[in-house]
Amino acid sequence: MLLTWGGMPAFAAADQISYSHLEAGYQRMTGDGSFDGYFFRGAFQVTDSIYLAAGYDELEDSGVSQEVMTLRAGLAVPLQDGLDAYGELGLVRAEVAASVPGLGTFSEKETGYQLEAGARMAMASRHELRGFLRSVDVDGYDETFLGAQGVLHVAPRVGLLAGVSRLFDASEFLFELGVRVNF
């Protein structure tokens, strides 16, 4: 059964899910404090099923900052036209810094890994949805995220994105707004 949304087919062709893109935007974490920051991320499709991805995220609040860099490899498996399951494995480099007036800045850098599994769905010609479960472990600190992201394509290669993730161990939410450019 083919559903429609706004007069367009509900599922786009599978080739509309791009694993070659750049993203940039604003993020805000709420919960134990209110951290604001930005992100830069990108991915490059190597074969029909394999892609490489990298990212840089930074959050700050009241003299405390967190920088996270990732380098990941992913595998995308088409389930049907416009619907892919995917998995990623990657390295994480995190730095946390705190500025204390009169005492200076203290920081610590650690390395760990990230696992992610999810699904991406192209809907109509302008919409994409993604749901995921992510686990990050950096030097014994582990966190699990459950997230969703939507992209509204405003031009053939340009989209506006919005996402939310729930951090289970810390009872926090991460909200993101940004731009994606597919290539």
Report phi then psi at 3, rounded to 5: -90, 160
pLDDT, averaged in runs of 10, over the chain (183 residues):
34 63 96 88 96 97 91 97 96 91 86 97 90 92 92 94 89 93 93
**CA-based diameter of the chain, in Å?**
67
Residue 62 has a pLDDT of 84
Q: pTM for this structure? A: 0.85
Residue 23 has a pLDDT of 98
Question: Which architecture does CATH list for 14-182?
Answer: Beta Barrel (2.40)
Q: What is the 3-state secondary structure (H, E, C) of 36-87?
A: EEEEEEEEEECCCCEEEEEEEEEEEECCEEEEEEEEEEEEEEEEECCEEEEE
Closest Cα partner for 86 from 116, 56, 64? 116
Q: In whole angstroms, how far apart are CA 50 and each of 33, 75, 110, 121, 152?
A: 38, 5, 27, 17, 24
What ranges do the domains of the chain cover? 14-182
